[in-house]
Structure 1
Amino acid sequence: MPDAATQAPEDSEGAGLRPAARPGLVDPSALLPAAVLLLAPPLLHLLRADLLTLVLLWGATAARFRSRLSALDRLVLAAGLLTGWCCLLGVLASLGPWGLHPVALAEATALPLAAAALARPQRLSRRSLKVPLVDRLLLLAMAAVGWCYLRPLLAEDATGRLAALFHGEDLARHFALYDAVLRLGGYLVFHREQAAVALQDGFQSYPQGSHLVLAVLTGFVRGGTGAPEALASLGAFTLLAGAVLTACVAAVLWAACRAAGPALGGWAVLPLCALTGGYLVLAEATPLLLAGFESEIFGLGLFALLTALALRPLGRPGEQLLLLGALTVGLAFAYYLLLVPAVPVLLFWAVVHRRRLRPVRRVALAAAVLTGAAAALPVLANWSQADSPAVLAMPGAVQPVVRHLLLPLLALTVLGLLTRAARRNAVRRAALGAVLAVAALVLVLREYQLVSTGHTEYYYEKLLHQLVVVTTIAAGAAVVPLFGPPERRSRTATGAGRRTAPLARAAWSAAAALAVLAALVLNSQPDARITRSGWQASRAAAYLHGADAAPFSAALVTAVHAARPVPDPRVGVLLTEPRQGEDPRFYEGNLWLGVLARDNGRSWRGWIWGRWRHTPQEIVDFADGSPVPMRVYLDDPALAADTERLAGPGRRDRLEVALVRYAEDGRPIVPRVY
């Protein structure tokens, strides 16, 4: 049965907007908003309040939508639109003299907004500014997700944040990319020579949409360009990484509610948020943060918004095309592997909702061509690194998706979308097609990897992450009948009945949400639950309680970093022994040391070599073959003395030995090098 969103157009005048008083002419009342948009960036920059400029642009973008949307919908879609615009604008900014300066970026964004305001002024009605119960509950769920991910980071300094995410090998490389983009003022493919010291060869062309957007946000917060000292930059980046995961889960929550549509009702949003948010936080999303998959997380958030719009489009085709184009460009610049599932999702949108596209088919074709050309830019820039299908069979470290939760959710979602009522609904038909298409891609990649390597590899799990997102969003449309009809007061209810009905619905929804969360908590462990140490807790519990943190390793890395000169002509290598149950040498200590020194392009060989114990002779031989002078940090006095004796005075220009000692409280003491 079609729901309200498929029966009534979203773009009816008066639903969320009031038309201009004099159509076809410039409304004098639009001159002031346009002037504010253009004059605010330089004025607020002088006041060191660039963050207010960003808020102003975000609000102005949200106000431009003419489709019938709530205030929360407007803000979410405006964030997605600005993200795609920022990724594309970053290409021009990287080539221009202003770089990522907040005033230049703000003016480049304010200009089209001001032109749109003058060409077609509009005023938001009170109805479009209201925050209904569904949105209030959704915001509450988003705040709970933010508390889970940001509280452990906000309570720590830069060293503590590094400790919480120390084992995220990929996060170290993403920090190096973010820091280099921030310092050099744009995409690194345009600054290859300047970035060569900071990055391992080949990473200059890695998709950098997420790093550029985070660098732009940092610039607006700091009120200027350039990066702070490395450790302070790392502290800001780790906090941003937690915020990116929060935004990603929030985007999936919003997308699931949009897929459900008005049939979801008010209080019934609680069980859906518990299912969606609980499943992601407890099982699938948190491992992505701990593994350091920052750009993938960023892209998955955009993919969630794109999927929601593909399932339940906006009423105005022009706005729909603009948003889908911006989100597709954002996907390509952030993590273009996500284009693989995005294409069939968009195709199902075009087929299922083809009647809406017929009047604007020429515009849609032009938008598709322009979007495809823009999305191809990061792919072509990185073509030398990903020019063969064999890349899809490459190995890599990734925690497997929790199959015992994904498979039942997938089965129930598909069965729910196969019902007669679902098949008669355009939104649910699109949801079914999207789920089946992404599942088919997963099976194709699985067979390819089995034929190529005999087992599944890294990118198979990555594609499963995308299936998780699509299935979770489609579940919002599939399980709506379980929550009953939308909230409304019965015309016959009077007196106490009217007062108790909302309370009963709230109590039922809260109880259902708690039951869903309890079931997820009891089943959120990885598939291999029993280990040598007994029951294995979920990664979310480990993150919240700091079980995966490495405080000693982080303290050692930051102490060594603080003791080094800036810039350091030598690369540093930690060869210390394990202490307090941690071994920074074997894990990621040398990688973090290199990215903090901004010399990972020179020090990455030392990181790989230094992961195992070495004799004095091996240390000296490696230093002799190193293309750059090195300094090793040892905490064994005998090993340090033997290494210095074997190196002799003639090799001091190639090898320097620093002895690390420890205070009574276990704090590492590193000799300062000048």
Structure 2
Amino acid sequence: MPSLRAGWATLLPLLLLPPLATLSGLDLVVPFALWITAAGVLRTGSSLFDRLLLSGLFLAGATTGIGLLLSLWPWGLDPLPVGELGFALLIAAAAVTGRRFSLPWRFPSRDAVLAAGSLGIVLVYLWPLLGSGAAQRLSSYITAEDLARHFGLFDSIRTLGGYAFLHSAQNQPVLQAGMSAYPQGSHFVLAVVDRFLHPGTSTTVTELPHFIELTTLVCAAFTITVCWAACRVAGPRLGAAAALPLVLAVGGYLVASEGTSMLQDGFVSELFGLALFAALLAVAIRPVDRPREQLLLMAVLVVGIGFGYYLWLPAAGAVALASLLVHRPRVAERRQSLVLGCAMAATGILALVPVAANWTVVNSASALNTAGGITPVNRHLLWPLVAAAALVTLLALVRGERTARVTAAVLLVAGGVAGLVMLYQLHSLGHSSYYFEKMLHQLVVAALVSLGSVGVLLPAGDRATRSLRAQTGLVSLAASVLVVVTLGYNAQSDHAASTSAGSKLQNYLRGSTWEVPVARLVLAKAQVVGFGEQSAPTLVMAESLQANYQGNYYATLWLNVLDRTSGRAAQLSSWAFVPVQRVQGIPHTLAGQLETLSGPLQVLSDNHTVRQTVLTFQRNHPDSAITVEQP
């Protein structure tokens, strides 16, 4: 172990920052300071962009594991002790390794392309939120039913100060059944960040806009990470000219299609897990220069994947193992087999904690057949992408590139896992379903990162004459135009490829009109309820929301999440699916449903038949706590 050196002592004043920030009401500077400090302590990444991105991902992954401690200690997610702990751990790491704070100020031309692309990605995703009110922001995500449940989990973690699976009894009336054990690393990280950005007390109505903003930024960070990962796999031969079409292809694919689709579906935990998965692929294929940091980085990313979205754990573990086998002379220097074995065991145990918390679901293969709302992956874009990734990987293998061996393993693992899930679903269901589409998301990321193998086909820098560089620039320009045109004309969903329907990005940017009244009703009727307080669940059956027949469903879902009554409102969402204009049968059906309730209920309806049915039920059951109001 390196001897302690004096360099780390220059970081000690950072311990004063959290209390000073709290006293001055500027807690928001602490996470940024932690990010910069981590970048200065790590030595991974030869350029400023590399270092900042890797340190951010490192902190995200590490926070999910440290969250176990934060969930059990008495201070919860209070910004002051959390900030102190973060700086203390970084200072301890600097002391043990004998490092001074140091940042690489290199900013190569390739990184300029990445930085410009990152800015564009952030602006595109935030565009619908800029200058919009709370109702308009919610309307962009009102149909993302998964996001409603994710917000409930985020609210629980933020309020109780720890993982929901460690507070399952308190969450029972608040969260839908099973959500307490759902993988929640992303929710935890976002709750920690939100406590720094908005440290005061809050309600669900004030938390929701923050959560929407953070979710949108998670999607942007995921897209940026995949672009960076592809460029890292390309290696040192990738200059700005070659980076431009690569970033356009990778970022454009995700923005125009699957990344935006996952965002609109509300898959924040999946996006978080895929971002860490993409980073793992990048460092597994092309390891960092320092073997110990390589092991640490892979371990932290695997742990983050386990806590964030453990569906990716089998592929992540297989890729990490393939990397260790291929790059063993670099990673396991001086035959440190015992250290390597202990590190792998500790990583596996920690990464499997969320799996153990949800074991009643995970231990059954039938869970892979669970149904759910999901936008299918664009097959007409996926298969050419996979073919292109396989082709450049094969060419790299022919050239004898060591990194191509891991890249080939990445494609085989991602494709193999997706194929196995499809075969299981075809055998048990007769068709593919929800989780097969999820596995295709993983395959998309693996293929996009693997596209970086094109870098090994580029001429080395010392062989690139002025004439060759000019030719490369022209080819790059032509390839960039081709990428933009191809994605622009083919980004529609499979079912809409021959119609006038827009791409997923177009639909995200322009939105639709019927969601806005639903969002307004939700925000207007949401109750300010303390965590654990007993309030009445809400059922919405309003004719005014029937521009789309699912309007009442989404209003019911979101209201019960904001009112913290989801745990007692499981059956109400299905009731809200009834189109209330079809009044035939409503009195008998609704009265029968009300008979099944054992607690209070608030009905919001402007339909005469619905209102009379509830009033009649009240007269026949004077002891019931069921009320009806205008929406």
**TM-score of the superposition, structure 1-length normalised?**
0.87
Are 2:21 and 1:44 equivalent residues in the alignment? yes
- Whole-angstrom CA distance in 1 between matches of 2:602 and 2:95: 62
Are 2:239 and 1:260 equivalent residues in the alignment? no
What is the letter of the counterpart of residue 535 of structure 2?
P
How is 1:165-314 mapped onto 2 (pairs within 5 angstroms)?
165-223=141-199, 228-314=202-288
Larger mean CA deviation between 266-275 and 168-177 belongs to 266-275
Larger mean CA deviation between 415-424 and 459-468 belongs to 415-424
Structure 2 partner of 1:616: 587
- Counterpart among 444, 462, 469 of residue 445 in structure 2: 469
Structure 2 partner of 1:55: 32
Counterpart contact for 1:553–1:584, Cα < 8 Å: no
- Whole-angstrom CA distance in 2 between matches of 1:286 and 1:504: 34
State the secondary structure of the residue aligned to 1:547: coil
Structure 1 partner of 2:629: 658
Counterpart contact for 1:394–1:459, Cα < 8 Å: yes
- Whole-angstrom CA distance in 1 between matches of 2:424 and 2:73: 43
State the secondary structure of the residue aligned to 2:604: strand
Counterpart contact for 1:428–1:478, Cα < 8 Å: no
- Whole-angstrom CA distance in 2 between matches of 1:487 and 1:633: 72
Partner deviation per Cα, 1:57-93 (whole Å, 9 max, x = no partner): 1111111223451111111111121112211111111
State the secondary structure of the residue aligned to 1:60: helix
**How far off its partner does 1:335 sit?**
0.6
State the secondary structure of the residue aligned to 2:603: strand
State the secondary structure of the residue aligned to 2:294: helix
How is 1:10-49 mapped onto 2 (pairs within 5 angstroms)?
24=3, 26-27=5-6, 29-33=7-11, 35-49=12-26
- Whole-angstrom CA distance in 2 between matches of 1:584 and 1:231: 22
Counterpart contact for 1:134–1:265, Cα < 8 Å: yes
Larger mean CA deviation between 382-391 and 639-648 belongs to 639-648
Structure 1 partner of 2:490: 523
Distance 1:138 1:643, change over 3 A: same
**How far off its partner does 1:258 sit?**
0.3
State the secondary structure of the residue aligned to 1:611: coil
State the secondary structure of the residue aligned to 1:384: helix
Counterpart contact for 2:152–2:175, Cα < 8 Å: yes
State the secondary structure of the residue aligned to 1:267: helix
What is the letter of the counterpart of residue 90 of structure 1?
G
**How far off its partner does 1:525 sit?**
1.2
What is the letter of the counterpart of residue 407 of structure 2?
A
Structure 1 partner of 2:414: 438
- Whole-angstrom CA distance in 2 between matches of 1:411 and 1:24: 51
What is the letter of the counterpart of residue 414 of structure 1?
A
Structure 2 partner of 1:81: 58
Structure 2 partner of 1:129: 105
State the secondary structure of the residue aligned to 1:399: coil
**How far off its partner does 1:248 sit?**
0.5
Distance 1:378 1:477, change over 3 A: same
**How far off its partner does 1:124 sit?**
6.4
- Whole-angstrom CA distance in 2 between matches of 1:642 and 1:295: 41
Counterpart contact for 1:249–1:285, Cα < 8 Å: yes
Identical pairs, percent: 36
Are 2:329 and 1:355 equivalent residues in the alignment? yes
- Counterpart among 409, 414, 432 of residue 390 in structure 2: 414
Partner deviation per Cα, 1:389-422 (whole Å, 9 max, x = no partner): 1111222221111111111121122122222665
Distance 1:602 1:509, change over 3 A: same
- Counterpart among 42, 64, 86 of residue 109 in structure 1: 86
Counterpart contact for 2:535–2:565, Cα < 8 Å: no
Counterpart contact for 2:3–2:98, Cα < 8 Å: no
Structure 1 partner of 2:523: 558
- Whole-angstrom CA distance in 2 between matches of 1:369 and 1:263: 36
Larger mean CA deviation between 55-64 and 573-582 belongs to 573-582
Counterpart contact for 1:157–1:235, Cα < 8 Å: no
**How far off its partner does 1:303 sit?**
0.4
**How far off its partner does 1:121 sit?**
3.9
State the secondary structure of the residue aligned to 2:495: coil
Counterpart contact for 1:422–1:428, Cα < 8 Å: no
Counterpart contact for 1:137–1:270, Cα < 8 Å: yes
Are 2:481 and 1:509 equivalent residues in the alignment? no
Distance 1:435 1:620, change over 3 A: same
Counterpart contact for 2:122–2:217, Cα < 8 Å: yes
**How far off its partner does 1:239 sit?**
1.1
Larger mean CA deviation between 280-289 and 357-366 belongs to 357-366
- Whole-angstrom CA distance in 2 between matches of 1:146 and 1:459: 28
**How far off its partner does 1:487 sit?**
9.0
Are 2:517 and 1:546 equivalent residues in the alignment? no
Q: Tell me, which stretches of 5 or more residues in structure 1 are unaligned?
A: 1-22, 661-674
Counterpart contact for 1:159–1:235, Cα < 8 Å: no
Are 2:580 and 1:602 equivalent residues in the alignment? no
Are 2:348 and 1:372 equivalent residues in the alignment? yes
**How far off its partner does 1:459 sit?**
0.8
- Whole-angstrom CA distance in 2 between matches of 1:68 and 1:581: 52
Partner deviation per Cα, 1:216-253 (whole Å, 9 max, x = no partner): 000111235x5x12111111111111111001101101
What is the letter of the counterpart of residue 483 of structure 2?
V
- Whole-angstrom CA distance in 1 between matches of 2:550 and 2:385: 39
Partner deviation per Cα, 1:274-330 (whole Å, 9 max, x = no partner): 100011111111111111111111100010111101000011110001111111110
State the secondary structure of the residue aligned to 2:539: strand
Are 2:605 and 1:631 equivalent residues in the alignment? no
Counterpart contact for 1:594–1:604, Cα < 8 Å: no
Are 2:42 and 1:65 equivalent residues in the alignment? yes
**How far off its partner does 1:112 sit?**
2.4
Partner deviation per Cα, 1:127-150 (whole Å, 9 max, x = no partner): x21222111110111111111111
- Whole-angstrom CA distance in 2 between matches of 1:433 and 1:548: 46
What is the letter of the counterpart of residue 644 of structure 1?
L
- Whole-angstrom CA distance in 2 between matches of 1:444 and 1:323: 29
**How far off its partner does 1:203 sit?**
1.3
State the secondary structure of the residue aligned to 1:657: strand
Larger mean CA deviation between 644-653 and 212-221 belongs to 644-653
State the secondary structure of the residue aligned to 1:648: helix
Counterpart contact for 1:266–1:486, Cα < 8 Å: no
Distance 1:628 1:351, change over 3 A: same
Distance 1:364 1:152, change over 3 A: same
What is the letter of the counterpart of residue 334 of structure 1?
G
- Rg: which structure is higher? 1
Counterpart contact for 1:577–1:583, Cα < 8 Å: no
Are 2:63 and 1:92 equivalent residues in the alignment? no
- Counterpart among 596, 611, 619 of residue 640 in structure 1: 611
Counterpart contact for 2:229–2:281, Cα < 8 Å: yes
Distance 1:293 1:152, change over 3 A: same
CA RMSD in angstroms comes to: 2.5
State the secondary structure of the residue aligned to 1:292: coil
What is the letter of the counterpart of residue 5 of structure 2?
V
**TM-score of the superposition, structure 2-length normalised?**
0.93
Distance 1:181 1:536, change over 3 A: same
- Whole-angstrom CA distance in 1 between matches of 2:613 and 2:427: 51
Larger mean CA deviation between 37-46 and 161-170 belongs to 37-46
State the secondary structure of the residue aligned to 2:362: coil
Aligned length: 622
